[in-house]
Amino acid sequence: MSRKLEAGPKALLSEVKIRQRVRELGAQITQDYKGKDLVVVCVLKGSFIFFADLIRCIDLPISCEFMGVSSYGSGTVSSGEVKITLDLTEPVQGRHILIVEDIVDSGLTMKYLVNNLTTRKPASIRCASLLVKPESVENEVDVEYTGFQIGKEFVIGYGLDYAGRFRQLPYVGIFEQEN
Ligand code: IMP
């Protein structure tokens, strides 16, 4: 069911567009990991909605794990520090890991996660992100499964927040102070 967009923040990506792209990513992942032991890692909090939709488009027997990280305070600029607030509950040695992020901005968080999980000796690590901002190239992060490349604007909705708000918006909108 579609909700009206007029009342909320200006839309950048509609529900329909997101749904279509998530299906394509799920189909691609299904093809790439056939016959492999895949652990899909949801990076909390921001990716919980994308993750929930994406895993339902992956037609394979996967395991789901959750990792909590925080790198932002309550503003729109990264603190530059990544903290693990929740860790995996299962060993991942010898298994294939797919990290699912909501957005790769500077790439710092994803780089930190890849480095951290590499020490646990998985068979492989790949990254999926609903959104990728151009600055991500600075940290040389490879995102094999990208939903959409966007500009520098601060976005909210579909799991993404500003100061803890707007996560439940069904689309991705542009944050403006009057929101
Ligand atoms: P990075 O470490 O700079 O790549 O930032 C990654 C994290 O910053 C994401 O997981 C988000 O939680 C947050 N973030 C970066 N840009 C945005 C945005 O435009 N809207 C909401 N959160 C953002």
CA 142-173-72 angle, to 5 degrees, is: 55
Rounded distance, CA 106 to CA 63, Å?
Answer: 28
Rounded distance, CA 102 to CA 159, Å?
Answer: 7
The answer to whether residue 59 scores a pLDDT higher than 70 is yes
Task: Sketch out the chain's domains with CATH numbers.
Answer: 11-174 (3.40.50.2020)
Decide the pairing of beta strands 78-86 and 63-72. Answer: antiparallel
**Which is higher by pLDDT, 51 or 80?**
51
- 150 in ligand 1 pocket by Cβ < 6 Å? no
Average pLDDT of the residues in 39-67: 98
The answer to whether residue 75 scores a pLDDT higher than 60 is no
Rounded distance, CA 176 to CA 179, Å?
Answer: 6
Q: Mean of the per-residue pLDDT values for the chain? A: 91
- 100 in ligand 1 pocket by Cβ < 6 Å? no
What's the pLDDT score for residue 50? 98
Ordered DSSP codes for 104-135: ESSSHHHHHHHHHHHTT--SEEEEEEEEE-GG
**Which is higher by pLDDT, 12 or 141?**
12
* Annotated catalytic residue 105: yes
Protein residue whose Cα sits closest to atom 16 of ligand 1 = 105
- 160 in ligand 1 pocket by Cβ < 6 Å? yes
Q: b vs e for 114-143, b when ≥16 Cβ sit within 10 Å of the residue's Cβ? A: beebeeeebeebbbbbbbbbeebeeeebeb
Q: Are 39 and 95 in contact (CB under 8 A)?
A: yes
The number of residues in the chain equals 179
Question: What pTM, to 2 d.p., does this model score?
Answer: 0.91
Q: Looking at the CA of residue 82, tell me the nearest atom of ligand 1.
A: 2
Average pLDDT of the residues in 20-32: 98
Q: Which of 32, 105, 142, 161 is catalytic?
A: 105
What's the pLDDT score for residue 1? 47
Protein residue whose Cα sits closest to atom 19 of ligand 1 = 154
The answer to whether residue 108 scores a pLDDT higher than 80 is yes
Cα of 103 vs centre of ligand 1, distance in Å, is 5
